[in-house]
Amino acid sequence: MATPPYSLTPVQTRSRSSPTFPSPPTTPSSGMTNPMSPIRPAISLHQPNSKKGSSKHNKIFRRVRAVFRSFPIITPACKISVSLHGNRLPDGHVGGTRMTGTLYGHRKARVSLAIQESPGSLPLLLLELTIPTGKLLQDMGGGLVRIALECEKKPNDKTRIEDESIWTLFCNGRKCGYAAKREPTDEDFNVMQALRVVSMGAGVIPAGDGADQPADGELTYMRAFFERVAGSKDSETYYMLNPDGNNGPELSLFFVRL
């Protein structure tokens, strides 16, 4: 006589619980291995505008540019002098494209550099530098820091400069190891998500409730606007922009192929 209650109980439990979980069929498309993880579902970073429909617009632009290049160049007889100082903006901009740059990492571990189109977008470029995070932030507090990233120029190579995989790293003229391009990890996405509303500033990202302090120190960050200036296909420069506009950039990044 004990068989009917035990056979009906699991059926009733499934019928009551099934309406409360309508989302599991959509979770495999997100690539999550742990559906209970609070990190990945909270990510709301958007794709950069440069990656949305870029192929179609690039084809149209190339065709229009090819047509205009076929026109003859006409030199006007009257020349108007233009002041070079008029190209510079009063707030210290150097005439390039403004990007968001973030230096972050655990104080005793290697620092990561993320370049984004905006604070709320996915990173366009993510590099890992062989410099401890605490050391780099300390040097920046003491004055101007110039980081040069050099790689070998290969003949007939059409790789874009930001797509190079490894660089030789120089900091203020001293060779300090290398920099490597890598794909974002869950921790990187978590950092970008936590800073999505931060335009500029520096601080510490908390590890979370009940989390132990990592052995390589707390997770620190520094975010600022950078002006991206493309000199040629083999050189790019990122200048940090100061909010006051009085002093020069505290950090300059040079990407060079030699």
8 A C-beta contact, residue 258 and residue 150: yes
How far apart CA 160 and CA 137 sit, in angstroms, is 29
Going 179 to 203 to 224 to 245, the CA torsion angle's sign is negative
Task: Report in angstroms the alpha-carbon separations of 207 from 211, 218, 252.
Answer: 6, 8, 30
Rounded Cα–Cα distance for residues 225 and 250 (Å): 12
What token pair was written down for 47? 């794709």
Element (H, E) at 244: none
The pLDDT tens digits of the residues spanning 190-234 come to 999 999 999 999 999 987 766 777 888 899 999 999 999 998 999
pLDDT score at 246:
57
Length of the chain: 258
Determine which helix (DSSP H) or strand (DSSP E) holds 54, and give its type and residue range.
helix 54-69
Q: How many CB atoms are closer than 10 A to CB 39?
A: 13
Which of 35-49, 66-80, 109-123, 197-211 comes out lowest in average pLDDT? 66-80
Q: Which residues, 6+ apart, have CB-to-CB distance to 165 below 8 Å?
A: 180, 181
Q: Which of 44-58, 174-188, 228-242 has the lowest mean pLDDT?
A: 44-58
**Structure tokens that stand for 166 in this block:** 């490894």
What are 51's strand-pairing partners?
Answer: none
Q: How confident is the model at residue 135 (pLDDT cuts 50, 70, 90)?
A: very high
For residues 161 and 257, the answer to whether their CB atoms sit within 8 Å is yes
Q: Which two tokens stand for residue 172?
A: 């203020």
User: Could you give the CA distance from residue 218 to residue 22 in angstroms, rounded to a whole number?
Assistant: 38
Q: Calculate mean pLDDT across residues 234-253.
A: 81
Rounded Cα distance, 153 and 159, in Å:
10
